[in-house]
Chains A and B, each alone.
Chain A
Amino acid sequence: MTEPLLQVAGLSKRFGGVVAADAIALDIPAGECHAIIGPNGAGKTTLIGLLAGEPAPERGSIRFDGRDITALPVHSRSQLGLARSFQITSLFTDFTALDNVALAVQAHAGHSFRFWRDARGEAALRLPAREALDRVGLAARADTRVDRLSHGEQRQLEIAMALATQPRLLLLDEPMAGLGSDESARIVAMLRQLKGSLTMVLVEHDMETVFALADRITVLVYGRVIASGEPAAVRADAAVREAYLGEQDARQDLHHG
């Protein structure tokens, strides 16, 4: 039995008086798609942040691929194979989509203390970048400046950038936020394709997506794990129904009604 790719134990973080993470424990084997769900303010984004490297936890440990990364800074975790997409789009707005993704490729293509050669002419950077854009469906917008892309396209770019770093673990924070149903479907299809070859931690609100993609689900409420397991079990868990799914059903009724 191999060690899980990601092992989280006793992870805690508080901001002033608010407990954002309370002794969180997770074990995620390689290749799994693991969804994190919970009501607003449950600490899902904080957890993604803790896994990615900012903020630093107060207590607890994170092991990635058998190695303790708790004290590693953000960029080192990325170099180890952890990639993150942001809930609130965080891109290089005055560059083109292609430039954005190419930078992500560049970060993992050797050092960047090269002062002469035009980086925009480096096929080793541009080709993988175009491929990544193609995979999320943005090939046609490669040469458009980010601040001229639609919100949905920017969300797609977020994912393309995370993918371009050739990660082993992908941390996706509400990747479909703000996307229309077509665009969402496309992303879901893409993520489904990646399942198995990539390990994913997915924060998501839309329960249909969660149940379609997730191998296992963890439910967070006020920073604490109240349930964790296979989708069917979580769905049936009484505590979860009360704390979250009840609220979720009500929202979905509004949504479909």
Chain B
Amino acid sequence: MGAGMPHIVEIAASASMGMLLLAIGMATWRLLRGPDLADRVVALDMITLLMVGFIGVYAVRTGIDAVLPVAIVISLIAFLGTVAFARYLLRRKT
């Protein structure tokens, strides 16, 4: 971790990872429980967004910037998945 006093960033990154994990857990609860299929789709979309954020925090925590393209790819796939689900919901109605 570069500079002389890296502790603040490390502690903050760990705490942020914990908050993101808790948020992923809560979104998973909604994914499992969601009264409607649309709720599940939104929860899944949000889980992937949170995973992208987690990858960002992970890159800061470990100092490895090579994992950032993974975040790009995951956000792209999340968008495509959500659009596909929305189409599927619209089509299933008829």
Q: Do A and B come from one complex?
A: no
Chain A positions within 8 Å of B, measured between CB atoms, are none
